[in-house]
Structure 1
Amino acid sequence: MVELTDIEKKLPYVKYYYQELAQIPVEKQKIAMGKAADSAKALSIEEKNKFLVGQATELEIGFCVTRLGTGFVANKTFMKNVTVEMLDWWFGWHSVSSDLRYKIWDSEDHYYARADKPEYVLDPGVPNYQKTWGVNHEILEDIGMGPDKLTLCFKNPKDFGYDISLIRTKYCNSLVCAIGVGACPAFMTHKFYAVDGGTMFESRFWIGYAFNNGEIVKVIPEGKSVPEEVVRALFSHNIKEFSNLAKILPQVYVEEKNNWG
């Protein structure tokens, strides 16, 4: 487990740090340990708007290296008793105040996630679903290959080329999206929408892309590929962290939703 400071040990939500992490569904564990998926099933980054309308169903849970040498990761998690409102709140809340907020998400692998504009995140005039827009999260986490620093640069979805008319619709009630800047750059989108009994949370990662001059561009050189172990590690981490978030979020939200500072 990651270490706690003396101050963190006194915070009321430290109890979630000490809880056993949620069990990852067996079928997802098998995918993580098995063969990579058929890369022909990966959604191309140019067709990312299909993801928002529920048309990207060929590969919803899995990972692969594409013919372009880029990586692709997909995950889908049913979150019982979680609401869209809770998730909108979470992505802002965990990035300010205490590093413990990120640690309780995955106590084995998460060290910190720090917003570079905390005053914006803490502004009560900013709707929760916008609290990541234009904010960079400085992150230290271990996806299975050792602790690694990265910067997640979140933006308004339209800045990344998403059709914003597709948000607040049946298969995309809300979303967060970012370019990850680090050893292995990637474009990430999490969308979520209400279903019976909770919320469906879906993730897509396109690995080997950067955001330059207002455009998402491939940065993997021709003839080179993202190592499969990197893509597999990201998938394994994703199924772990979001299984646990589904477990803790309903109660964390009830107890902390008005505690931003």
Structure 2
Amino acid sequence: MSKKVGVSHEEMALPYYQFFTRPLAEVPAEKLAVLAAGPSPVRAVPFEDRNLFLKGEEKDFCQIGYGVAEDGTAFVCNETYMPGVTTEMMDWWFPWHSVGSDLRYKIWDPEDHYFARADNCAYVCDPAVPMREKTWGVNHYIMEDVGPGPDFLKLCFKSPADFGYDAPDTAHGQSMVCAIGEGGCPAAMTHVWAPYKDGILFRSRFWIGYALVEGAYRKILPEGARVPDVVPKGLFAHNIKEFTNLAAILPELYKEFGSQPL
């Protein structure tokens, strides 16, 4: 078992510190089997066709797994069934953990998360901004470990339209966040969630090797270059771990703190 990240005495005094002290939820065996099996023989939906993912029309592509595409870019795909979680809870989670104490990010994955800080707290905390829009145009400065050690990342969240998506089907409760990451290995990211059974189905896609350049989303790998297999493998391992744990704590966390100001 990995060692948990450090916390301050001030963090220990916060009412949600209890979530940090709990053992992490166990990742389902079938997810660990996918991780151990190695790169998926089926590639993810291409970034250029990402609207197929948003619409749920990419069933011929990878749904759960990771790998490297023919052009050298890499991908990570995951789906997490979250019983007892609602779309409203997840809408709240993304802005909530980006403001206030660093502990909010740490309880998501106490072994790998150090901090996540929004660069426009006034906007995030403004009650006039709809919860689903509180990430739009906001950058999160993050420190986390997805395998090789703690690393700094800037996640530039966008509105769905600015990310090149058609409008999500909010009439049926679907919601989403999308961002372009700036760091050692730039990537595009989208999480989409909607009601499913007695909770939500949370679907994730990462396209590694893409960046926002002069207002356009582009592949930035040099011709002939290839993202090492260890990169998407580490991100997949981290993703199945953090969202399994979030699914376990979010209903109770939201019940206690969801009605309070961010």
TM-score range, shorter chain: over 0.9
- Number of residue pairs aligned between Structure 1 and Structure 2: 258
The aligned residue for residue 50 of structure 2 is: 48
C-alpha displacement of 1:196: 1.5
- Map 1:1-261 to 2 at 5 A: 1-39=4-42, 41-57=43-59, 58-164=61-167, 166-168=168-170, 173-261=174-262
TM-aligned CA deviation for residue 228 of structure 1? 0.5
Is the 1:116–1:137 Cα contact (8 Å) retained in structure 2?
Answer: yes
1 CA distance for matches of 2:8 and 2:261?
Answer: 19
Q: One-letter code of the match for 2:123?
A: Y
The CA deviation at 1:169 is 5.5
- Which range moves more in the overlay, 49-58 or 99-108? 49-58
List per-residue Cα deviations over 1:206-246 (Å, max 9, x = no partner). Answer: 00000122211001111101110011000000000000000
TM-score, structure 1 length as denominator? 0.96
Quote the Cα distance in structure 1 between the aligned partners of 2:261 and 2:212: 30
Distance in structure 2 (CA, Å) of the matches to 1:158 and 1:87: 20
Question: Structure 2: any 5+ residue segments left out of the alignment?
Answer: none
CA distance in 1, matches of 2:240, 2:31: 7
Which amino acid in the other structure matches residue 182 of structure 2?
V
The answer to whether the 8 Å contact 1:159/1:214 transfers is no
Question: Which shifted more, 237-246 or 209-218?
Answer: 209-218
Deviation at 1:259, TM superposition (A): 3.0
One-letter code aligned to 2:31:
K
**Secondary structure in structure 1 of the residue aligned to 2:153:** strand
Paired letter, 1:197: D
Q: Distance in 1 between matches of 2:10 and 2:38?
A: 44
Quote the Cα distance in structure 2 between the aligned partners of 1:107 and 1:257: 21
Whether contact under 8 Å (1:134, 1:156) holds in the other structure is yes
Gaps of 5+ in 1: none
Tell me by how many angstroms 1:199 deviates.
0.2
* Residues 183-213 of structure 1, C-alpha deviations (whole Å, 9 max, x = no match): 0000000000001110000000000000122
Report the secondary structure of 2:162's partner residue: helix
What is the aligned-residue RMSD (CA, Å)? 1.1
Provide the secondary structure at the position in 1 that maps to 2:248.
Answer: helix
